[in-house]
Structure 1
Amino acid sequence: MLNNSKKQKSKSKKLSKSKDSEVKSSCESANFKSEQAACQYGYYIIPLERQTTIKKVKNEKDISPILEEEIPFGSSILQQSNLQDYDKLICEEVVKDFTSFTFNNSLEHQISQEDEYETLSEFMREQVKYEENYSYKKNYLNNQNEIQSHMVAILFDWLIEVAHSFHFKRETFYLSINYVERYLLRQPNVQISKFQLLGVAAIFIAHKCEEIYPKTLKDFHRLIQDQYTIQEIEQMEVVILKSLNFRMYPNTPIFWLNYYTKLWDEFIIDKDPCVMFKERTNEAYYRYRELVQLFDVCLIDYQYKQNEKLTILGLIYLVVAKQLQIFDEYETMAISQSEICDFYHSDEEGYNKLFRQFILQSEIYLEFDRRIFFEDLNDVIYQLLKYFILRFDNSLPRVLLNNQQFIDEMQHEELLSFQTYNKSTIETITIISKKNQ
């Protein structure tokens, strides 16, 4: 249940056909703009983010956004001189339209609470022990001379777009960045000319580990056909596997995000107000999407160094508070932290008390891991606020666009698992980085 509904073989055959027919166009939309990147960074293999122009379907009953065209815009963004005006642009949140699709709740299975608790406890005990074998430090750029933090962010942002274009799961993307980071930690002084090749080979390996419908090597070669050959991708794949000692199945951060959101939903379900993340409703679905998009930005920003589990809890704290309208203006809070500071150390009879209770009551699940206290979230929440300038993208994954039947037939955990791409990610990290200088 927590493993992203990994191998569900009952998928619609219709999905398989539609996905195969979109491979070529998906690859083209995810291509690097190498020549423009050379102008910006001085290296020919650094990818640029792209802006997707959105238009609405004329039929009001079918308002799912469709992709019209893709326009390069990275150079103009990074050359913005008036950051204050651009902050306002990023802070504008896309209006959520909850009528784009509906959920069929008849497929959700009822499991006894005692059996679920016993199974979950045993499973999580094993996962925590298993995780220790894959732990690594996030200072992998300390032994790299050519690769810089903004290059890592751009590469990971491109991998998100590749995963989104190929209809991959979030787990696939997080596996790929795990491989890249561990490889950079073990292999010093990786050449910048091989950096994109490393990313392509990493997500190629990850998709073979995770996806039910794998792509061919030619599909991935189309992404970078002007830079590397198929043989070079294969060689890099072998190098990565050997470097990581063929240990390719870590617990990724998205695993823990799904775990903690499940705990929150179980805790809040009988309370008022009931703000959930995995309820089979449109509102909960978009809330989960916003949570994950914020988490993506934090993890691909090399400058962010907080513990991943505390980051997840901090984001849950802030996203739920936003839903409850506890804070009037997140844009102001992202600039000045005084309001959140005063609130976090008060309100013992309100929201803070509720969240403290959540952490304490969930201790039985966390007993196998390091114990977490409400006070541990103090510094994390302050640092997370700055990422709330991210403009939330509520467009559906491409595989779900205009496909209500597929949504009805799909288990909810699998529907949540599709990776989505937010075109504002790199702009957000760039603005935060310039403000910190």
Structure 2
Amino acid sequence: MELDLENPLTCVEEEQYDTVSALFDSESDHMASQIFLRSFHAESLRREAIALILQAQYSCNLDNFISYLAVNYVDRFISKKEVPEEKPWILRLLVISCLSLAAKMKKIDFSYSDFQRDEGFIFDAQRIQRMELLILSTLNWRMRSITPFSFVYFFISLFELKDPALTKALKDRATELIFKARDEIKLLEYKPSIIAASALLCASYELFPLQFSSFKAAISSCEYINQVRDTNVT
């Protein structure tokens, strides 16, 4: 079954057990290590990796959600495994493998050769598959990533909007903001739920300024958000 980033805990063999509490309880397992955030080398690697992922997105016409999922895999991997500076080809292999895994999760074809067409060297399928296995084991096979998109509909439901067109406009703008925020490493300090709530508040302020206060109050009073705040403080 294709991975739905908005509902990552549901799979074909199961009932929808993704109670909201399950998402909040599990989101920390899908975040990069906090030690990683303090490393200049890691920040440099991440910047280069994102540039490669965006290059692949445009050259191979990939879905935005595939590139976002690939970035999540890269973040989590390089926060746990060292990528040597003196071997830049390893980062390229990592990016290709993360894109391949993300495409598989989304049931989308991804051509290694298309992405590597203009490169001086090409990784064969066997080498990419070995890297995929290393990524899978490093991430404990948690590939159905919980991201900010997993929480968007929940927070929107708190706003009690009656017009489907307004709901769609709010969701689309929040989604756009989440995509744009992907490049900022400092945001990795915050849990996906916090990023989702923040994006929706920014979007609601832009689109419905007169209702912003009530939207903010709805999110601020959410029990799950208060639990996340308490966790971040400790």
- TM superposition score normalised by structure 1: 0.42
Residue of structure 2 aligned with 1:292, choices 170, 175, 178:
175
Which one of the candidate residues 174, 196, 200 is aligned to 2:96?
A: 200
Partners of 1:290 and 1:157 in 2: CA distance:
23
Alignment of 1:198-347 (within 5 A): 198-211=94-107, 213-222=108-117, 225-230=119-124, 231-261=126-156, 263-264=157-158, 267-269=160-162, 276-278=166-168, 284=169, 288-304=171-187, 305-324=189-208
Give, in angstroms, the shift of residue 321 of structure 1.
Answer: 1.5
Is the contact made by 2:155 and 2:197 (CA closer than 8 Å) also made in structure 1?
yes
More helix by proportion, 1 or 2? Answer: 2
SS at 1:248's partner residue? coil
Rounded to whole Å, the distance in 2 between the matches of 1:133 and 1:164 is 30
| Cross-structure match for 1:190 | 84
Q: Which runs of 5+ in 2 are unaligned?
A: none
State the number of aligned residues: 220
Aligned counterparts of 2:179 and 2:201: Cα–Cα separation in 1: 17
Identity percentage of aligned residues: 16
Partners of 1:322 and 1:152 in 2: CA distance? 30
Cα deviation 1:280-316 (Å, max 9, x = unaligned): xxxx2xx544422322232321133344322322222
Alpha carbon RMSD of aligned pairs, Å? 3.9
Tell me what 1:387 maps to: none
- Structure 1 residue aligned with 2:227, among 357, 370, 384? 370
**Aligned pair in 2 of structure 1 residues 300, 184: CA closer, same or farther (>3 Å)?**
same
Give the distance between the partners of 1:255 and 1:209, measured in 2 at CA.
Answer: 15
CA distance in 2 between counterparts of 1:238 and 1:319 reads 39
In structure 1, list runs of 5 or more residues that go unmatched. 8-118, 279-283, 327-349, 377-437
Query: What residue in structure 2 maps to residue 408 of structure 1?
Result: none
Contact 2:93 2:128 in 1 (8 A): yes
| Displacement after TM superposition at 1:208 (Å) | 0.8
Q: Which amino acid is the alignment partner of residue 185 of structure 2?
A: Y
**Deviation for aligned residue 1:202:** 0.6
Residue of structure 1 aligned with 2:22, choices 114, 126, 136 = 126
In structure 1, give the amino acid aligned to 2:213.
N
The DSSP-based 3-state class of the residue aligned with 1:297 is: helix
Query: How many angstroms does 1:207 deviate by?
Result: 0.8
Mapped partners of 1:149, 1:232: distance in 2: 26
Match of 2:213 in 1: 352
Q: Give a deviation string over 1:78-120, Cα, whole Å, max 9, x none.
A: xxxxxxxxxxxxxxxxxxxxxxxxxxxxxxxxxxxxxxxxx97
Aligned mates of 1:199, 1:183 — CA distance in 2: 10
Give 1 or 2 for the bigger CA radius of gyration. Answer: 1
Q: CA deviation at 1:251?
A: 1.4
For 2:103, what is the secondary structure of its paired residue?
helix
2:181 is equivalent to residue 181 of structure 1: no
Name the CA distance, whole Å, in 2 between partners of 1:196 and 1:190.
12
Q: 1:321 to 1:128 in 2, by over 3 A?
A: closer
